A and B are shown apart, each in its own frame.
Chain A
Amino acid sequence: MTTKKSKLFYFIPYSMWILLFVIAPILLIIYQSFFDVSGHFTFANYQTYFSSGTYLQMTISSVWYAFLITLFTFLVSYPTAYLLSKTKHKQLWLLLIILPTWINLLLKAYAFIGIFSSNGNVNGFLEFIGIGSKQILFTDVSFLFVATYIEIPFMILPIFNAVEEINPSYISASTDLGANAWQTFRRVIFPLTLNGVKSGVQAVFIPSLSLFMLTRLIGGNRVITLGTAIEQHFLVTQNWGMGSTIGVVLIAAMVIIMLLTGEKKKRGRKMK
């Protein structure tokens, strides 16, 4: 009995946190989304969202950029995580990869402004090799580049853990049964790291949907995502109802992503 009680006791801080900072805000946002600028109850916000082309286009563009960021992050992270698990001092390397996540996002963004600006390091190099200065900052490419750079550690970590968890005798077994290195990768290693990939996709795609700081600082507001739109509604146009509506849509999108990539409780994942 006492153990049950004490377990409950330890659960209190966590449930308070969830209640105050997750559940309450979500309920507030949903509530808010049903009011117009002058404070009257309405469904108009949702109507506007789904009927006006602008918001839908914004949604599509958000998803598209989030998809690209996730894709590039994956393309860089998978080989890195895989090779990392084969290196000698993997914990050290891993630390070096995680280290940048400890630095504030804004700081990193400003650092990139310095690097990409018209008299920054990259353009300096381009001039040096004779190509000449280019507009790098405020382009889609630089936005994707920086976003990918920032998200990479969040993808590497779960994939690395999944690769590490693979029992080396599975690889021996695959070779023993005649598979070459590529076949072993495709049929044994990759499927067994799929859950790591899914976690990585979740960790990258969902935040990427609502990136707004980078869109301004690096993308120069050329890239408009739902995150940018929410920020504008709350801070500039003061249309909290519309901002909340977009927020609700984003939350719905996240839930859908979670469901799609979530672990289907397949029996037989672990056997040890």
Chain B
Amino acid sequence: MPNQSIITFKDVVKEYDDQPILNHVDFEIEKGKFYTLLGPSGCGKTTILRLIAGFTDATSGEIYLDGKKVNDIPANKRKVNTVFQDYALFPHMNVFDNVAFGLSIKKMAQQKIVEKVKEVLKMVQLSGYENREISEMSGGQRQRVAIARALANEPEVLLLDEPLSALDLKLRTEMQYELRALQRRLGITFIFVTHDQEEALAMSDEIFVINKGHIVQSGTPVDIYDEPINRFVADFIGESNIVKGNMMDDYRVKFVGKEFECVDAGMRENEAVEIVLRPEDLEITAVEKGKLKVKVDTQLFRGVHYEIVCSDTDQNEWVIHSTKKAKIGAEVGLYFNPEDIHVMRFNETEEEFDARLEAYEEE
């Protein structure tokens, strides 16, 4: 069962009114994993879901579900179900009828429908809510009804379009845990859309970072966080300090006028690059112990940490997350390890990036 791809996009292009919305999208989705499509508003996340579900047709390219080409198969014949962004629960039906909708379309026997509805409502912890009207349910409960309605059909793939965005922070965190646990328990494939990077990092097996109709980078949360392929990903996933630099040699990089040891290699000599340093990897020390010398400008208490903004003599801004307080106006040193320096090349595609990573990691 593992490593069997359940959804494949081959060179899929989608245009609306001759405007390209998806540009040559290729990906494979494996059975039983939790995938997240992450990207800014309007980048094409919903469009990808709509293509998988069959609500819209690809302009060109091929879409496979479970090894079968489905470009010409209508939405009601595909074994995927969707949890819509606005839930789209039928307002003229109660909870039971909503959840039973797909089953009664399939002409399942009434007795079996009752059992199945009971089972899925229990799964989403809504036992006993069968006779409630949709308007009598809270936002979080509606969301669960929407999930139950989709799950009742036993789909192989569940598509979730920003299902948590309407919930408040606490409920949202709770639902993140519940969704993840549900996916593990059922073992079906989830494709989850969000533009919240923390949500993506917390929940996913794999993240596809999308920008302007392209998949910019795909990988596990840790991979993407630690090795962002370019400035867009680095900026989008977590907070970053990004500065310009030059690759002097393998494992030697120069930025803000100094040379540092790093763990990246496989680039041209003196190639212009961008450097990412994550705020939580930077450590404030005495000036003489630091690799960089900066001045503390502002400081903000964020609950778990202080967000300290410093600047160096070249007017680069450095954001640091620290559990210790700093003194505003003080000159301090910044310390970081070679592996904290992430080097990004300009215009490197994901394949080139992966190939380079593999090449020098084998050495």
Contacts and interface: CB of A to CB of B under 8 A. Distances in A.
B9 interface: no
Interface in B59-111: 74-77, 80-82, 84-86, 88-92, 94, 101-102, 105-106
B135 interface: yes
A174 interface: yes
A167 B92 CA distance: 13
Contact of A178 (B55, B90, B134, B153): B153
A88 interface: no
Interface string A170-183: 10111111111001
Given A183-B105, A267-B133, A173 B90 contact: yes
Contacts of A183: 105
A191 to B, nearest CB: 5
B153 A270 contact: no
Interface string B97-131: 00001100110000000000000000000000000
Contacts of A170: 88, 90
Nearest to B132: A268
A169 B88 contact: yes
A7 interface: no
Interface size bracket, A side: 20 to 34
Interface in A165-211: 167, 169-170, 172-180, 183, 187-188, 191-192
Contacts of B81: 176-177
A76 to B, nearest CB: 25
Nearest to B92: A191
A172 B101 contact: no
A173 B88 contact: yes
Contacts of B75: 172, 175-176
Nearest to A195: B92
A167 B86 contact: yes
Interface of A: 167, 169-170, 172-180, 183, 187-188, 191-192, 266-271
12 contacts: A172-B55, A172-B82, A176-B76, A176-B80, A176-B82, A179-B76, A179-B101, A179-B105, A267-B135, A268-B91, A268-B136, A269-B135
Given A172-B53, A269-B92, 19 more contacts: A169-B88, A172-B75, A172-B84, A175-B55, A175-B75, A175-B76, A176-B76, A177-B81, A177-B105, A177-B153, A178-B102, A178-B106, A192-B92, A268-B92, A268-B134, A269-B91, A270-B91, A271-B89, A271-B135
